[in-house]
Amino acid sequence: MSNKPLIRTKSQRTILKNLTVSILIICVSSLPYIHDLITIKGEGLAPWVPDFGLEKALTASDGKVMGFSSYRVFLYTLLIHLFAHIGWVGWMMDAKGKSYRFALLVPVVLSGYTVALLLFNARATKYNEPDTKFYLTLILSLIVIFNFFFNYKLKRNSQE
C-alpha cells in the first residue's frame, strides 16, 4: 500500500462539484413540499418527526402560529418564499459578469424582505402594507439604477 496523499484529479473534482450542485438543486426544489412530509393536515407534526417544541414556541395565545392558522400553513408560506428567494440569489450569483446583474438586486432584496417579515411575524404591521412595499421597490430600484450608471460612467472615464 502506498502512503501517497489522496489527490483528486480535475475530472474527479468536477464530478464531485456537479453532484453537490445537483443535490442542492434537488433539495431547494423540494422546499415547497417539506410541509407535506413533516406535518399531517389537521393534526400537527408527523409521528416520526422529533418534537423540539418549535410549534408551541411559535404559537400565540390565540392559537395562531406566527399569524397563520396552523403550523403547516406557516411552514408552507415560509418555505415557498424561501424557495423564491434562493432562486433569485442563485440567478444573481450565476449572472456574474452580465450587464443585467445589477437589476437582480431588486428582487433579491424584496424576496429577502418578505422572508424576514414572515420570520419576524410582521405581516400585520405597516412594513407589510402594499404602499410600503411599493415605495421600497421604487427607492431600491432608483438606487440600484443610479449606482449602476454612476459606476459605469466611472469605469468608462477611467478607461479613456
pLDDT digits (tens, 9 = 90+) for 74-133: 999 999 999 999 999 999 999 998 988 888 999 999 999 999 999 999 988 999 999 999
The reported pLDDT for the residue numbered 102 is 86
What totals of helices (H) and strands (E) does the chain contain, helices first?
Answer: 6, 2
Count other Cβ atoms within 10 Å, centred on residue 147: 12
What pLDDT, on a 0 to 100 scale, did the predictor assign at position 11?
84
Whether 44 and 71 have beta carbons less than 8 Å apart is answered as: yes
Q: Is 50 helix (H, G, I), strand (E, B) or coil?
A: coil
Question: Confidence class of residue 23 from pLDDT cuts 50, 70 and 90?
Answer: very high
Q: Which three cell numbers stand for residue 49?
A: 418527526
Rounded mean pLDDT, 6-11: 76
Question: For the chain, how far is it from start to end, CA to CA, in angstroms?
Answer: 62
Please tell me the predicted confidence (pLDDT) of residue 111: 94
pLDDT of residue 149 exceeding 80: yes
Report pTM.
Answer: 0.79
